[in-house]
Amino acid sequence: MKIFTFLLLLMFSMTSFAQLSIEGTPKSFKSFGLHSVVPFVDLQKPDMELINAQDAAAELAGKGYRIGVPLHANLTPENSGVWDYLPDGSAIWRVGVRSNDAIALGLYFSNWYLTPGIEVYAYTPDKSFVIGAFTELNNIELRTMATQEIPGKEAILEVFIPDRTQNFDLVLDNVAYFYRGFNFTKQEKLSGSCEVNAACSEGNNWRDQIRGVAKITMVLSDGQYMCSGSLVNNTNQDCKPYFLTADHCSVSQSGVPVTATQLSQWVFRFNYQATTCTGVASGQSTAYTGATYKASDTYGENQTGSDFFLCQLNNTPTAAVNPYYNGWTTVTTTASSGVSIHHPDGDIKKISTFTSTLTNYGTHWGVLWATTTNGHGVTEGGSSGSPIFNQNKLIVGTLTGGASACTVNGAGNGTGPDKADYYGKMGNHWSGAGTASDKNLKVWLDPTNSSGGSLNGRNSCVAGLDDVAYVRANIHLYPNPVSEFLNIDFSDFNIDNASVYVTNIIGKTVTAPVNGDFNGVTSIDVRELEPGMYFLMVKSQNTNVSLQFVIE
């Protein structure tokens, strides 16, 4: 049996990804007199013969689709790398990591806590792929952090400190060794030849639904895994970023469920798709790190239930991502036609079409895929958790597994384009695992008890671009430098239910928070503060930015 498992526009020709960060360039790219050699730490390549055997056994057992394994690093500025101290009082720390034959590396941090002004970057040695700057905006209570995948077997981590006396915490705990599931340089498909790009004509009637689906890179106890899933709407219509996938995506090969710490390092990539029907590479995509658990059944542990997992992203996708919160139905009427949208083998987004009525298998729907204009879409490893939509464009299930494939294999039960796949029913996700809030979807997706069993999708609640660069450009501080009262002008960026306060350079809050709705000029008394650099912090549900100013 097979199972399927803000914003920096990157700088050069192969850089089509972005991750929650602020716009910036590593300071070492523009500084002179630095150490000419960045020291690299060599991490032992895993035993791929063992890894491949484990993955083959996991596929037969219906486990998740693993794509990487962790390599223990435990690197800190105190025990590794090289420091450069610049004449203006700032400092740069750099360290490289290397593991032979990796197709990509991922950086996973513990004890992550940055104070305002510090910037963290990661990039390839040839500087053709850069992510960052990551800042105090990436701090979370669990003090974890993870980056998206960096192509190749080598990566450099860089930390810039504007004042060398600043304190911060950062431990590069693990480096993910990715051995499959990515296509950074080869102009060829990762997935099967029959798969259909979501950009093809088959997706023309599903453009909104396509925008809600994302590729997930999961962290579990024995490695990194890959699945698909979707943003889902709720009856409060508040664009709370609930994300639905399959429960087996949250359980390792050895049957260990995801922990809160591991979930905080999952990476969700939106708009990872070609811009043309024949394209093999993605245009600009955006990744968000981290989520919190809401509800699931136990399918991944004991194959009981309908196989659902609901989490909430730690960051609400901005209007720049153009997200769509997909609708759903728990009504048991069998769908007569529809599609599934997914990321097979970690490839760019694909669409599979069905034109015959789904088959009822109790907790699951069975589906047979149809030949369409541009291929015969199926599912593969990495498709797990993806939504299946009925003819009314509503989610009716999430993918558990099946035998569909582009190529025919007659061994055992056989695989091929004419074989069935199986999707756990939304109706069973709704309340089939119990009445507790962490065992059903109803508590989260129908908090007003008003859906009647169905809810249409909706576009983002964000009216305009709400990323860090935009906010910083439209909240104005004056005078700067300041000696008595700092004026904050919100005329170009109104913000409701927010908190505004000042921190010093080591991150300590030094003024009482001012709370409320801001649409004009607000003043903060800084007469009692010592001269030096400070940061104005502006925080609300959808906005979290810092703006630098100086007291003279």
Residues with catalytic roles: 248, 307, 384
Residue 243 backbone class (left: φ over 0; alpha: ψ -120 to 50; beta: rest): beta
Q: Are 216 and 227 in contact, with CB atoms under 8 Å apart?
A: yes
Name the nearest CA neighbour of 328 among 230, 411, 228.
Answer: 230
Distance CA 354, CA 107 (A): 39
Residue listed under structure tokens 């102009």: 187
Distance CA 431, CA 426 (A): 9
Q: For residue 156, which phi and psi values (nearest 5 degrees)?
A: -115, 135
**Residue 3, H or E segment:** strand 2-3
DSSP, collapsed to helix, strand or coil, labels residue 127 as: coil
At 434, list the tokens: 């119990």
Which residues are CB-neighbours of 382 under 8 A, at least 6 positions away? 4, 5, 65, 67, 181, 215, 226, 227, 228, 342, 343, 344, 345, 346, 347
What is the maximum alpha-carbon separation in the chain? 79
**Residue 413 identity:** N
Q: Is the peptide bond before 481 cis (omega within 30 degrees of 0)?
A: yes
At 388, list the tokens: 């299946």
- Listing DSSP states for 162-226 in one string gives SSTT---EEEEEEEEEE-SS--SS--S-SS-TT--BTTSGGGGGGHHHHHHEEEEEEEETTEEEE
Cα 385 → chain centroid: 15
**Residue 360 identity:** N
